Amino acid sequence: MKTYPCSIEKALNIIGNKWSFLVLKELYDGKKRFNELKRTINGISPNALTTTLKHLEKNAILKRTVYPTVPVTVEYELTEKGQAFHSVLKEMKKWGAEWGDVTL
Amino acid sequence: MKTYPCSIEKALNIIGNKWSFLVLKELYDGKKRFNELKRTINGISPNALTTTLKHLEKNAILKRTVYPTVPVTVEYELTEKGQAFHSVLKEMKKWGAEWGDVTL
DNA sequence: CAGCATCCAAAAGGATACTG
DNA sequence: CAGTATCCTTTTGGATGCTG
């Protein structure tokens, strides 16, 4: 009794949750560090950010790189798969700008 | 201490949750009825569907029409605002089809 | 048919404190 | 800096049964 998910479900499962969208948005500007993301993303807790980043890394959306400085430096950047999702974000941004305040 | 949301946050707040994406997807085929949606959307409970539909109606994404038949008939269809979101779904679908099974 | 009410289990999320 | 651990509150969500 197995039904397999449509492409949209696949996409949603890979992305995960709402935080992911916002993390992705930040990373389109270029690689970022943990605290940078934490500062930039309004209201995210370290806990939620950790979870989100791990999920995205597991799904090959981003790559995590550790530099053995003191203290340690960790950078996050998008993979090709993550970059490809940019088209979705762009459409979403356009829609949000055009309709975000419309009540009809 | 007010920061106002970016367009992407606006979009996410209006859409709401994951179920909304799947409801929208169904409604791009044309107007649908409650049980039709319930049957088509894999694993959604009546409760979750009700909540989702109300949220989308409140945000002017869809329109609810009641026909006084016996028993009653209720149809849901997208507004212009809802239709406009189709471009996002289309991109998401493309991405899901291309990358949905890629592990890298 | 199209829901709403109720109950309960599970998961998400915030706050705070602490570590290599 | 980049998290982890813990606790606890809040949502979310499935299951079931009922109604106009």
Summarised one tens digit per residue, pLDDT across range A43-97 is 899 999 999 999 999 999 999 999 999 999 999 999 999 999 999 999 999 999 9
Q: Which of B96, B14, B104 is nearest to B55 (CA)?
A: B14
**Is residue A39 within 8 angstroms of chain B, CB to CB?**
no
CB neighbour list of residue B40: distance below 8 Å, 6 or more residues apart: B26, B32
- pTM for the full predicted model: 0.91
Is the distance between the Cβ of B5 and the closest atom of strand C smaller than 7 Å?
no
Q: Which residues 3-22 in chain A show a CB within 8 A of chain B?
A: 3, 5-12, 14, 18, 21-22
| CB contact (8 A) between residue B100 and residue A60 | no
* Residues A2, A15: Cα–Cα separation, whole Å: 22
Q: What is the pLDDT of residue B104?
A: 81
Say what the pLDDT of residue A1 is: 38
- In a mutational test of the B interface, the residue from A8, A93, A98 whose CB has the highest number of chain B CBs within 10 Å is A8
Task: Give the list of residues 6+ apart from residue A28 with CB closer than 8 angstroms, or none.
Answer: A78, A83, A86, A89
pLDDT tens profile B23-75: 999 999 999 999 999 999 988 999 999 999 999 999 999 999 999 999 999 99
**B19-B21-B22 Cα angle (round to 5):** 65
Q: Which pLDDT band, with edges at 50, 70 and 90, does B4 fall under? A: low
Is A96 in contact with B11 (Cβ distance < 8 A)?
A: yes
Q: In the prediction, which pLDDT does A29 show?
A: 93
pLDDT at A4: 64
Give the gap in angstroms from C-alpha B50 to the nearest C-alpha of chain A: 20
pLDDT above 50 for B2? no
Mean pLDDT of B72-97: 96
Nearest to B91 among A9, A10, A88 (CB): A88
